Amino acid sequence: MYNILLHLHSVNRWIVLILIVLALYKAFSGWFGKKEFTSSDKKSALFALIFTHIQLILGLGLYFISPLVSFEEGAIKSEIFRFYTIEHFSMMIIAIVLITLGFSLSKRAPESITKFKRVAVFYLIGLLIMLSSIPWPFRITGAGWF
């Protein structure tokens, strides 16, 4: 079960990153191009949000069964246990909350420019937090590319 969840979580990471970058491209081009916020713009932000939430569910499943998450006394001293138990978990929650806020606030915005701006700002901050919290292979806590 662990390996299946880990593989799904790892593959879905790439889908999430691609969808967020696509939503950001549409948001920034709409914002700076002073375009109308269309259903296509909303759908790209929505798909990024949906797959981000799927990633959260997969991640929560992993969090409770992973051998890399430890609540034992002294586990915080281990860089790997600390990363997966606290850092990765908390930073990804913050990133997902920001992306969710960006989508929700854009729905309530009266003007197209404000919709684009909210998606662009919140999704960009969320993406940067995600990129800094992914266990890339070149980090000490690194995992594989897939």
* Segment holding 143, helix H or strand E: none
| Contact by Cβ (8 Å): 84, 68 | yes
pLDDT score for 71: 81
pLDDT confidence bin for 142, thresholds 50/70/90: low
Is the separation of the CB atoms in 31 and 120 below 8 Å?
Answer: yes
Domain presence at residue 140: no
The answer to whether position 81 is within a domain reads: no
How many structural domains are present in the chain?
A: 1
Domain boundaries, position 39: 2-68+91-133
pLDDT band at 76 (very low <50, low <70, confident <90, very high): confident
**Residue 47 included in any domain:** yes
Question: What pLDDT, on a 0 to 100 scale, did the predictor assign at position 72?
Answer: 81
Answer yes or no: is 107 within a domain.
Answer: yes
84 Cα distance to chain centroid: 15
pTM of the predicted structure, to 2 decimals: 0.91
* Tens digits of residue pLDDT in 84-112: 898 999 999 999 999 999 999 999 999 99
Domain assignment present for 75: no
Q: Cα separation of 118 and 146, whole Å?
A: 31
The reply to whether 58 falls in a domain is yes
C-alpha–C-alpha distance, residues 126 and 102, integer Å: 9
Domain membership flag for residue 31: yes
Q: Answer yes or no: is pLDDT of 5 > 80.
A: yes
Closest alpha carbon to 69 in 136, 1, 2, 140: 2
Task: Check residue 143 and give its pLDDT.
Answer: 72
* Residue 123: per-residue pLDDT: 99
Query: What span, in angstroms and rounded, lies between the C-alpha atoms of 133 and 93?
Result: 11
Cα 101 from chain centroid? 12
| 138 Rama sector, left if φ>0, alpha if ψ -120 to 50, beta otherwise | alpha
Rg over alpha carbons for the chain, rounded to the nearest Å, is: 17
